Amino acid sequence: MTKVDASTAGLPGQGAQDRPALFVDAGVGHFRFQGQDERGLALFDVTLPSNSNLVQLAADYRLRERFGGGPDAAIFITGKLAALVKAAIGGGKTILPAAAAWLAGRGLIRQAADVRVMGSLAMIELSASGYLVLGLDREGALKDDLLVVNPRCGAGSGINLDRVLQKLGMARADVDALLADYCGEAGRARREAVPIRADRCGVFSSSATISDKNQGIPLPVALATTLKSEILKACRKLPAGFDQVCLGGRVFHWRFARDCAEDYLRGLGVREVLHDPDNDGALEAMRGLVAELGATGLAQPDASSIISVLPGRPLHLALDVGSTMAKAVLADAASGEVLFLRAYSNAGDTIQTLQQVFRELREAGIAALSLSGIGITGSARFQVQQAFEHVYPALSGRVLVLVENYAHARGVPAVRVARARSPSTSPSPARVTCAPPRPRRYSACCWPTWAFAASN
């Protein structure tokens, strides 16, 4: 298995930048900030936990002084928390994570084309909050429409594997030492004999590992089963027919994880397996894109045209509030058309995370919403239900909860069936204002001191 050489993985024709630039990978578990001068040489390269103080980091590294501020700043951000980082450091442009992975894959294909004939490439990324599987042909175009992004649970692999280690009292550096007998060619037979758990939400990996250990199963066996199961959860989404695969994500710092993935991929006929655990390829590909197109050549999405239709329109609000992330969707109550979709880190206080959802709407000029109902899933669903019904009495009986597995399996149809069966559902939507009223305290649900009023 080969580690990606990111220094040559960018787009062809990339050259020096016209100004210093900052490239950011804003993952759910960690942020990586890579500052470069006009020649593309590193000014700094720092990785820190995603709950770090970004305002302080911006001051320490003089980000505004070096790279500017606002939409014209020479700051380019990818990752699931790109919007959060952009707001915290005061500007920049965002690039979708799937687009960054696609760029990195195209760079690898062009790099490989110089030395040998190559058929196709797949990118498999296991991040802190889920996984991505992307297939490209030799021209860099999507192969067989293969683009799979978190088809089930946003809780994913990385954060839950860290929780497994925390409950076991282990450091990440201890994993390969514990599983040394399962690594390499000498450990292949033992590694292949490790069983695989059913493909369930990654949240269950922690309890399953501890349960195995408490039942007397040796710790190396229990941990190897969990890691192999999580690794293959993504790898099994890849069909046969790819010549090369690049593995991304911090879990692939572990040799055991790389070996499990390579065992499976070789069985599919993959000839070469690369690994890029620090996402170097995506950052370098972003730099190549900026060098080729210029900062002004990167268009940014304009959500104002969609957000402007929200006021007065009957809406459904759907929330998935998990232990690591929260997702919010506003959809037309009649047609189901999605009008607003955002993901947020939920590493801290859940109610503060929900506050951010409404703050974003308010900053976009939305003074009020007309909600027909709210559907909530995720580990914090009951806390959020109590908060909404306490603050918005008009929504009583319209805030419905579903356990995660049921919500994932049934989706929107289940919410509509549940609403149809609810005798207390009011036919007229409740008006929820987004402007903060006079400060009030809701100690029962820990709602922020500013609250949203609701009336029929």
**Mean pLDDT, the chain, integer:** 80
Q: CB–CB of 133/257 below 8 Å?
A: no
Homologous superfamily, domain 2-97+283-297 = ATPase, nucleotide binding domain (3.30.420.40)
134-160 confidence digits (pLDDT tens)? 999 988 999 988 988 864 454 446 677
User: Which of residues 298 and 63 earns the better pLDDT score?
Assistant: 63
- In this prediction, residue 424 carries a pLDDT of 44
Task: State the average pLDDT over residues 434-449.
Answer: 32
314-339 confidence digits (pLDDT tens)? 888 899 888 777 888 888 888 888 88
Alpha-carbon span 194 to 177, nearest angstrom = 17
Residue with tokens 């903060």: 436
> What are the phi and psi torsion angles at 435 (to 5°)?
-85, 135
Percent above pLDDT 90 for the chain: 36
Q: Is the pLDDT of residue 32 over 50?
A: yes
Kindly report the CATH class assigned to 304-455. alpha beta
Q: CB–CB of 414/402 below 8 Å?
A: yes
Least confident of 1-5, 32-36, 187-191: 1-5
Round to the nearest angstrom and report the end-to-end CA distance of the chain: 62
Q: CB–CB of 137/259 below 8 Å?
A: no
Give CB contacts under 8 A, 24+ apart, made by 39-42.
40/16, 40/287, 40/291
Q: Does 106-282 match 2-97+283-297 at the fold level?
A: yes
Q: Is the pLDDT of residue 282 over 90?
A: yes
- In this prediction, residue 72 carries a pLDDT of 87
Alpha-carbon span 277 to 312, nearest angstrom = 47
Amino acid at site 378: G
Question: Residue 68 region, left (φ>0) first, then alpha (ψ -120 to 50), else beta?
Answer: left
- In this prediction, residue 59 carries a pLDDT of 93
Q: pTM of this prediction?
A: 0.70
223-273 confidence digits (pLDDT tens)? 999 899 889 988 999 999 999 999 999 999 999 999 999 999 999 999 999
Among 280, 300, 298, residue whose Cα is nearest residue 32: 280
The sheet that has 93-95: what strands, in order across it?
A: 42-49, 30-36, 21-26, 75-78, 93-95
Task: State the average pLDDT over residues 110-133.
Answer: 78
Binning the chain into helix, strand and coil, the percentages to the nearest 5 are 40, 25, 35
- Give the confidence band of 446 by pLDDT, cuts at 50, 70, 90: very low
Report domain extents, the chain: 2-97+283-297, 106-282, 304-455
DSSP string over 196-217? ---S--TTHHHHHHHHHHHTT-
Give me 365's structure tokens.
């000029």
Could you say which of 3.30.420.40, 2.60.120.1360, 3.30.70.1350, 3.20.20.60 is the CATH number of the domain covering 106-282? Answer: 3.30.420.40
Least confident of 67-71, 185-189, 296-300, 306-310: 306-310
Alpha-carbon span 27 to 49, nearest angstrom = 9
